[in-house]
Structure 1
């Protein structure tokens, strides 16, 4: 053995004439260290019971949905390319049927989207405060979703105070067959763009922030593109909350929200590959709990899809801006093994508008969802 341990081996590399000398003892040393390192890493690579449960849940429940939605997306792309009847909207959007809803602590004030000056002139609209417009998605208009997305987001912003919080009532135009709803996003986005073009003649553009969930995110993207085309200016920020996936593909008729639709586009992914986009489409994309289609504590794609606005709303409350801290990374596995470098970045309300890249983070399975949250913290709302 000693002979082999100290045997000198010469390796000749013929193409450049060099030879490399090394000892078998070096080889054994490397192999020994590699083996020890692998054995030491085994405990870290074995998933905990909770991690194993989440993995099993996604394999058994989540990933079959992902395959199904991939097929739906392929069908929709084929229909769009063939100009099929499936993409012809049953209800063509009419601008006179849509309204801004100015939310205050005491009232929901409806203002026609084709009369944005009425919003500016309303006594409840404070022209010195920023304007946040929230657009919801499929099957979540004001008649069907009065106690969920709009109220949750509204409560968070009104607690923070010093903001004009407005929701967009799209009437029934994204409340019909999904393909028709998807096809309507471009037209509704153009309507929103026209209203914003009129509004900025009286109100500073730099104070406007668009937020959209699901199909609402795609409406915001369309609004941003039409706005820039017509004004050669950019909306400062668009936040996409799990932008709708089926039927929206870059380079096709319905391209969806994408970086460049505003000066800054940030995206929160909570149901990637199913109801929400899997691809990174923003300047900064935040993947909550990685690329798995189901969120912790969620057993269906719909509730995971909704987590995007739930996470964002939590981050709006005073004192909770840093509840969701993420790091730029290549994968969730790299994040969990501390292989991600760089600073922690807040996801949601306080996301810095200069950061770019793909960010990963973990969340709790129930509210408060942020891993950096204080369990019994009660925000102090502005009166």
Structure 2
């Protein structure tokens, strides 16, 4: 059956003359609805795991436009979520009692259960005089080595800056399939993250000190946390940063709610793989489109590495002296920007983004580190 799902995803894009025909795709999807409903109850076992899905995108889909492939996947996911099948009704709850926060310091990393956040807020390494940043890993970043790499790189950047409580929430190994990931886990994990933040605020920790940040799925978890926090307290978390917020199955007005402006007092979003693994739509108070709306970043040859550029760009901007590495201008397209048709001031993307800015901003990046077009290649950050 899994092979059948793969074949359908590929074959539905090809017309009789061998060209990709999206309109025909959606006609065929309509014809498949009745047949699909009977199989929806078993879909959780048919949807590929993250490892299989990325392998699928590199092999089965070679020669097919990635954005068109994922547009179909989105439609298929929405059709399933909006049905009345067992697929929607049956919940797969993540093992929350096995999930942990990691409180990073220069000398150690302290693991604290997600269900016992008070232990973290009262830990000697947690400084209530310093701001708090919570970084949530995502679907792409829980593929083995990239989860630890994303956490380690981001933690190193914040530890270099100093004067911050940097915490990570690793979702690795708790999201086994795209179905469980998209349908339920973002909302459930987000709810418990919001409860942890609420306990901290109730202890008189300044609300304006709290910054949630997530990559891919992690961005959608942060969005859910922001909404739950607001529903329970009528307050807004100061800032949520979406690092290429996950695209598949998250659509405005759909069953699943993704990160959106209003989930925090300030929502900034960095787009590096728009329309494929990351959202293409402007969803924040300010949205940064790196190198336009192309799904591939300079120097990247697959969608997964482009998807991961978002957290790499942000981490680079955190180091002292790098705040202005990524300067963007409000614009309508990367072409207009490159033709000098965009007016207005340059705004830094990443760590130093002003929380008063709004709109769609475009910028170019380098193909390798340092990625910031305005970076000084000989600059060596001085860590605190």
* Same-fold status (TM-score > 0.5): yes
Name the SS for the 2:253 alignment partner. Answer: coil
Report if aligned partners of 1:240, 1:265 keep a CA contact under 8 Å in 2.
yes
| Alignment-derived partner of residue 336 in structure 2 | 334
Question: Could you say if the C-alpha distance between residues 366 and 89 of structure 1 is closer, same or farther in structure 2, counting changes exceeding 3 Å?
Answer: farther
| Alignment-derived partner of residue 368 in structure 2 | 366
Name the SS for the 1:148 alignment partner. Answer: helix
Q: What displacement does 1:75 show?
A: 0.5
Q: CA RMSD in A?
A: 1.8
| Alignment-derived partner of residue 345 in structure 1 | 347
| Alignment-derived partner of residue 75 in structure 1 | 76
Question: Could you say if the C-alpha distance between residues 61 and 315 of structure 1 is closer, same or farther in structure 2, counting changes exceeding 3 Å?
Answer: farther
**What is the TM-score normalised by the length of structure 2?**
0.81
Structure whose CA Rg is larger: 1
Partners of 2:108 and 2:147 lie apart in 1 by: 13
* Larger displacement relative to structure 2 (274-283 or 95-104): 95-104
Q: What displacement does 1:269 show?
A: 0.2
Question: Could you say if the C-alpha distance between residues 83 and 296 of structure 1 is closer, same or farther in structure 2, counting changes exceeding 3 Å?
Answer: farther
| Structure 2 segments unaligned to the other structure (5+ residues) | 1-60
Q: Aligned match of 1:315 in 314, 317, 322?
A: 317
Report if aligned partners of 1:160, 1:317 keep a CA contact under 8 Å in 2.
yes
**What is the TM-score normalised by the length of structure 1?**
0.81
How many residues of Structure 1 are paired with residues of Structure 2 in the alignment?
Answer: 322
| Structure 1 segments unaligned to the other structure (5+ residues) | 1-59
> Could you list the per-position Cα deviations for residues 348-369 of structure 1 after superposition, in whole angstroms to 9, with x for gaps in the alignment?
0000000000000000000000
Question: Could you say if the C-alpha distance between residues 364 and 87 of structure 1 is closer, same or farther in structure 2, counting changes exceeding 3 Å?
Answer: farther
Question: Could you say if the C-alpha distance between residues 89 and 244 of structure 1 is closer, same or farther in structure 2, counting changes exceeding 3 Å?
Answer: farther
| Alignment-derived partner of residue 51 in structure 1 | none
Q: Aligned match of 1:355 in 332, 349, 357?
A: 357
Q: What displacement does 1:173 show?
A: 2.6
Name the SS for the 2:167 alignment partner. Answer: strand
Deviation above 6 Å: which 4+ runs of structure 1?
60-63
Question: Could you say if the C-alpha distance between residues 256 and 63 of structure 1 is closer, same or farther in structure 2, counting changes exceeding 3 Å?
Answer: farther
Partners of 2:224 and 2:372 lie apart in 1 by: 30
| Alignment-derived partner of residue 180 in structure 1 | 180
| Alignment-derived partner of residue 247 in structure 2 | 245
Partners of 2:74 and 2:215 lie apart in 1 by: 18
Partners of 1:331 and 1:121 lie apart in 2 by: 47
Q: What displacement does 1:333 show?
A: 1.0
Question: Could you say if the C-alpha distance between residues 275 and 139 of structure 1 is closer, same or farther in structure 2, counting changes exceeding 3 Å?
Answer: closer
Q: What displacement does 1:63 show?
A: 7.3
Q: Aligned match of 2:327 in 309, 325, 328?
A: 325
Question: Could you say if the C-alpha distance between residues 229 and 138 of structure 1 is closer, same or farther in structure 2, counting changes exceeding 3 Å?
Answer: same
Q: What displacement does 1:182 show?
A: 1.3
Partners of 2:123 and 2:63 lie apart in 1 by: 46
